[in-house]
Amino acid sequence: MIQSDKGADPPDKKDMKLSTATNPQNGLSQILRLVLQELSLFYGRDVNGVCLLYDLLHSPWLQALLKIYDCLQEFKEKKLVPATPHAQVLSYEVVELLRETPTSPEIQELRQMLQAPHFKALLSAHDTIAQKDFEPLLPPLPDNIPESEEAMRIVCLVKNQQPLGATIKRHEMTGDILVARIIHGGLAERSGLLYAGDKLVEVNGVSVEGLDPEQVIHILAMSRGTIMFKVVPVSDPPVNSQQMVYVRAMTEYWPQEDPDIPCMDAGLPFQKGDILQIVDQNDALWWQARKISDPATCAGLVPSNHLLKRKQREFWWSQPYQPHTCLKSTLYKEEFVGYGQKFFIAGFRRSMRLCRRKSHLSPLHASVCCTGSCYSAVGAPYEEVVRYQRRPSDKYRLIVLMGPSGVGVNELRRQLIEFNPSHFQSAVPHTTRTKKSYEMNGREYHYVSKETFENLIYSHRMLEYGEYKGHLYGTSVDAVQTVLVEGKICVMDLEPQDIQGVRTHELKPYVIFIKPSNMRCMKQSRKNAKVITDYYVDMKFKDEDLQEMENLAQRMETQFGQFFDHVIVNDSLHDACAQLLSAIQKAQEEPQWVPATWISSDTESQ
Ligand SMILES: Nc1ncnc2c1ncn2[C@@H]1O[C@H](COP(=O)(O)OP(=O)(O)OP(=O)(O)O)[C@@H](O)[C@H]1O
């Protein structure tokens, strides 16, 4: 269920004072200020609707309206009172009074000023204006208006480069041309003169009776400058109860390819991962939204959650034999001992690129990981998001690196930890294999029985795992938490199909996709790089390896791009490391869009 944004902080009280300071005596402004103060006490708490009410009362347009109201009130009080009998008489009286007071240079000057012709002219002008009535003179209503006569509204809009921002339709029964919807931020909406449901009677003096909507649109397209609409206003104009909801698109949408969209030109295309501001959910099937990357533009039509879900389901069933790309195992190279290193880095896997090509999925892994990926294929098409800013006292967010095999995920992670081992750390993985003499439990691995390992899987405490040479290897939630609780940033690499498992409010992962650059650059930068495989040592990257890396990266982006918070192209290792450091810093210190469920207090995990 999409709900209102709970992410914004209440503005400070200084702002509120400023907005009402124009007339502190004014009762309405004073009451509003007190109400806002009261509400701000509840803002941080989970009181249903309080954020919406607060934002509404604090919205700039309401403040502006109040200012206008204040000005009008002030104007009403200062309105000139007809003063013909008084103003001129008053000046004579003052002059007479002054005659009786002892003469001084100032009194002399004042008397001369009051008797000067321009002062008299000024008073006379005041009197003339004060007597005038500036209210518009309306013609009297005719006595014999027929009962059936409909009130008309004439609306003039000046057409500029922008679209009018309204769609029309023909009423199925009556054949009337009606305004179907007003697009937020468009010319029609900003005019405040047209509403969904208004009946179009004329456009630029041309009657629309009996015309098709396409013919009306043609008249509009041909019009230049001012367009005049004659409309019969809808009896009950829709109340604008819009909630500012933000969602992450978990799928892509192309209006041009959607035969169901009511108005293709008004459609808003979006890609996986785009953050959309939903500005209108009044229609159960078609919402209005704008991209936050493009806030100035007017909104566009997008399928509602319900409709998009239905479309996804139809698409899914129309392609029953589509391969489940989630069926890919995670394999571990068993040996990795940090001999010869300055410090020990746990949790690193060696390149299993070539092994993976030949690998088969273990039944255990398939049964669990399929749930996540199938969900993403037909699950919620929009994910409600809020702005989240980590507080300094909060644990760090988990950093997840992801990328096609061989792209440099491990290299980057290694460099990061080497750069600052007291700040960055990997989680110690679990394994079912036996401990070697030089190993220490909890340093290289947590050595556990197969039964314990499987229990961790079934209780969803394993973030990722795989089987290699008959032994299970994996990283547990607790191992990650151990690093986070120590006040360090936990950096782990994941296969995309495991992503749903880590997306919990507990870990609040920030996912960075490591992407190969183009073939030409890769050939150059990987000239001396070695692929470390299970059975080849010091094997150089071949063109086909690089090509496969590129293809896999594309597939990952297509299928899982909605989960990537940041993308780094790993061309120059030095640049990629610098970008990684900066991205991690931003993730921890700057506001980011995260699923709303991670923030609501009553939800433990998604
Ligand atoms: N930007 C780069 N420039 C040159 N060489 C690089 C770069 N990034 C990584 N490499 C090298 O490429 C090889 C593969 O990198 P790495 O092992 O980190 O890949 P990976 O993404 O972890 O793949 P896998 O998952 O298969 O282990 C290593 O020899 C590494 O040093």
CA of 398 to the centre of ligand 1 (A): 22
Lowest-confidence region among 302-311, 473-482, 552-561, 594-603:
594-603
Between residues 270 and 61, which one has the greater pLDDT? 270
Mean pLDDT of 365-385: 57
Mean pLDDT of 12-29: 43
Structure tokens at 260: 């169901």
Confidence bin at 219 (pLDDT 50/70/90):
confident
CA of 403 to the centre of ligand 1 (A): 10
Pocket test for ligand 1, best of 333, 410, 491, 568 (most atoms within 8 A of CB): 410
Lowest-confidence region among 114-118, 398-402, 540-544:
114-118
How open is the CA angle 253-259-263, to the nearest 5 degrees? 80
Q: Across all residues in the chain, what is the average pLDDT?
A: 79
d(CA 430, CA 453): 8
Per-residue model confidence (pLDDT) at position 361: 41
491: amino acid identity, one letter: V
| Sign for the pseudo-dihedral over CA of 589, 592, 596, 597 | negative
Per-residue model confidence (pLDDT) at position 35: 81
Closest of 290, 244, 185, 281 to residue 55, by C-alpha: 244
Confidence bin at 82 (pLDDT 50/70/90):
low
3-state secondary structure of 97: helix
d(CA 17, CA 29): 10
CA of 570 to the centre of ligand 1 (A): 9
Mean pLDDT of 400-416: 94
CA of 408 to the centre of ligand 1 (A): 3
Say how many C-beta atoms besides its own lie within 10 A of residue 72's C-beta: 10
Residues with CB under 6 A from ligand 1: 351-353, 403, 405-411, 525-526, 529-530, 570, 573, 576
Pocket test for ligand 1, best of 351, 405, 473, 493 (most atoms within 8 A of CB): 351
Q: Which atom of ligand 1 is nearest to the CA of 409?
A: 21
Closest of 422, 417, 399 to residue 488, by C-alpha: 422
Q: Which helix (H) or strand (E) holds 349?
A: none
Q: Which pairs with CB-CB distance under 8 Å and at least 24 residues apart come from 575-580?
A: 576/408, 576/412, 576/514, 577/412, 577/415, 577/416, 577/419, 580/412, 580/416, 580/512
Q: Rank 116-130, 140-154, 190-204 by mean pLDDT and report only the highest.
A: 190-204
Lowest-confidence region among 125-129, 260-264, 388-392, 594-598:
125-129
Q: Which atom of ligand 1 is nearest to the CA of 573?
A: 1
Between residues 441 and 148, which one has the greater pLDDT? 441
Per-residue model confidence (pLDDT) at position 33: 77
Mean pLDDT of 592-600: 92
CA of 511 to the centre of ligand 1 (A): 18
Say how many C-beta atoms besides its own lie within 10 A of residue 598's C-beta: 19
Lowest-confidence region among 238-242, 326-330, 580-584:
326-330
* pLDDT of residue 410 exceeding 80: yes
ipTM > 0.95, yes or no: yes
Q: Which residue has the least CA distance to atom 2 on ligand 1?
A: 573
CA of 335 to the centre of ligand 1 (A): 18
Lowest-confidence region among 78-82, 375-379, 399-403, 442-446:
375-379
Mean pLDDT of 11-32: 47
Helices (H) then strands (E): counts for the chain: 19, 23
Confidence bin at 27 (pLDDT 50/70/90):
low
Q: Which residue has the least CA distance to atom 15 on ligand 1?
A: 408
Per-residue model confidence (pLDDT) at position 81: 63
CA of 182 to the centre of ligand 1 (A): 53
Between residues 413 and 185, which one has the greater pLDDT? 413
Q: Which residue has the least CA distance to atom 11 on ligand 1?
A: 529
Q: Which atom of ligand 1 is nearest to the CA of 407?
A: 21
Confidence bin at 23 (pLDDT 50/70/90):
very low
Quote the percentage of the chain above a pLDDT of 90: 40
Say how many C-beta atoms besides its own lie within 10 A of residue 171's C-beta: 10
